[in-house]
Amino acid sequence: MIDLALDIASWISFALGGFFLIVGAIGMIRLPDFWSRLHGAGVIDTAGAELILLGMIFQAGLTQVTIKLILIGLFVFLTSPTGTHAVANAAFVAGLRPLGEVKKRDEDKKKGATS
């Protein structure tokens, strides 16, 4: 009974994680420029990777493997934003600016969508 519940929980995690991985991949193709694509990668880094790891934790149960998976999740949690920041900062210093950047809030209503 517990096994069945754990299997269901892990499959839900795998399915959701896979969904977010695919959404992130679609985002990296569909989004128009460098800055917005970073956000697509962010979906993969956070929801995608962590939910797949959560599914593996449900499969592993209370074993040493679970501890290692939690540590992997923690390190991904700490390192992936650092890498994203390094890439974004390099682009900012190099002078790259977002496509259709909105400078002030007032301009929103005039410009509307920039897709």
Residues that bind another protein (CB under 8 A): 20, 23-24, 26-27, 30-32, 35-36, 38-40, 42-43, 45-47, 64, 67-68, 71, 77-78, 80-82, 84-85, 88-89, 92-93, 98-103, 108, 112-115
- Residue 59 CB, shortest distance to another protein, in Å, is 19
On whether the CB atoms of residues 66 and 60 are closer than 8 A, the answer is: yes
Tokens encoding 57: 């934790």
- Residue 26 CB, shortest distance to another protein, in Å, is 6
- Residue 4 CB, shortest distance to another protein, in Å, is 25
Integer Cα distance of 49 and 76 in angstroms:
8
Q: Which is nearer to another protein, 4 or 93 (CB)?
A: 93
The residue written with tokens 């969904």 in the block is 19
Integer Cα distance of 115 and 113 in angstroms:
6
Q: Is 52 left (phi over 0), alpha (psi -120 to 50) or beta?
A: alpha
Q: Which is nearer to another protein, 3 or 109 (CB)?
A: 109
Coil, strand or helix at 100:
coil
Q: Which is nearer to another protein, 4 or 102 (CB)?
A: 102
On whether the CB atoms of residues 42 and 84 are closer than 8 A, the answer is: yes
- Residue 1 CB, shortest distance to another protein, in Å, is 28
